[in-house]
Amino acid sequence: MHHLPAFSAFRRPLRPLVLRLPNLMLAIAAALPWALLILLAAGLVYAGTARAQEADQETVTCNGVSLVDRLSTTAPEKLASARTQAAATANGQGRLWKIDKPGRDPSWLFGTMHVTDPRVTELPDAAQAAFDTAGTVVIETIDILDPVKAQAALLTNPELTMFTDGSTLTSRLSEEDASLVEAELSRRGIPLALVSRMKPWMIAGMVAMPACELARKADGVEFLDIRIASSATAQGKQLLGLESIGEQMTAMADLPIEFHLRGLVETIRLSDLMPDIMATMTELYLQGEIALIMPVILAAGPEDTGDDLDGYAEFEARIVTLRNHVMAGRAGPILEKGNAFIAVGALHLPGDEGLVSLLREAGYTLTAVR
């Protein structure tokens, strides 16, 4: 999958990134969908990248191991519990939903994963058919398609992505954590001085992704949402966005800086496990088992998961729930015209306050398309 990757399936059981140190697996479970959201909000980093003629497959091959397979042999009772938890999540299965309302042509809601894996970027047949017939295509933000506009958002509000008070990343970290961050950045060929004034959530977006995903992005491979938007433009369809990139960055920046600092450190500490998390997310996403993703990741963690929920409510409310309501409200006038294909991160679909539930409350009939 964040986005990653806060997915009301990805969201409801999610612990915050401010978990105490023994619970590092939970922190990384939270970090990945968070990073997926970051990568969409910071899509301008990749939008202007020159496309390579052909990606080096040896470089971009992912080697993660599915946690579902691991649990099925090492802890089947935990896997069963995760499945029970997922089954209790409203609208937790299905990537594609048909939207009906009397007197309107049907529209479609499709959950995406903001990655470049070729299995993800190829739409399933039913979604492709829905896309082909739609007159209007909607993604989370169209700002990422315009590097100039995206860059303007940064220049207009530098405080969203940079420390503007004279402080730096290292001045806000302990000596031990600063050394950890510097070592990880150095391993990736990024001088700390180059990003020292960048907000932690931006740096987390760089280090949370497996090397294969970063390599494909560096080669100019488009992630699914951009591919959908590009296809819509090429086919002369109306293309709309539900948010601005400034709104997305503001959502991240609104969270306490301590939350972001801890999230960066925890992400780095378990960066080697990201391929397994990504493999799990991708496998379950492709199966349409959206609500099972986070329970499986959490079930694969240590026995002592803890009950520290400091910061969780704020994270959930600001990054997921509030945005769900905004997107549902803005989708309304589009859906009233009918014949629309709306593609947003899969994290926004499940749950009592997910888009599926909110659109039903607005008077639409939504049916999962298997």
Delimit the domains of the chain by residue range: 21-162+198-368
In this structure, the dihedral spanned by the alpha carbons of residues 292, 118, 114 and 208, taken in order and rounded to 10 degrees, is 80
Is-contact 74 43, C-beta < 8 A? Answer: no
Is residue 29 predicted with pLDDT exceeding 80? no
Averaged pLDDT for residues 122-130: 97
Question: Confidence class of residue 214 from pLDDT cuts 50, 70 and 90?
Answer: confident
Kindly report, residue by residue over 289-339, the tens digit of the pLDDT.
Answer: 999 988 888 787 655 434 334 455 667 777 788 999 999 999 999 999 999
Kindly report, residue by residue over 168-180, the tens digit of the pLDDT.
Answer: 999 999 999 999 9
Averaged pLDDT for residues 109-137: 94
- Pairing relation of β-strands 238-241 and 136-139? parallel
Lowest-confidence range among 39-48, 98-107, 130-139?
39-48
Most confident range, picked from 43-57, 146-160, 346-360: 346-360
Is residue 353 predicted with pLDDT exceeding 60? yes
Separation between Cα atoms, residue 346 and residue 10, nearest integer Å: 9
Looking from the CA of 54 toward its CB, the CA atoms found within 13 Å total: 3
Averaged pLDDT for residues 177-186: 93
Residue bearing the bigger pLDDT, 25 or 139: 139
Separation between Cα atoms, residue 347 and residue 275, nearest integer Å: 19
Kindly report, residue by residue over 221-278, the tens digit of the pLDDT.
Answer: 888 999 999 999 999 999 999 998 888 888 888 888 888 888 788 778 877 777 888 8
- Distance set, CA 127 to CA 121, 339, 358, 359, 368 (Å): 12, 13, 21, 19, 11
Record the pTM: 0.80
- How much is the pLDDT for 236? 97
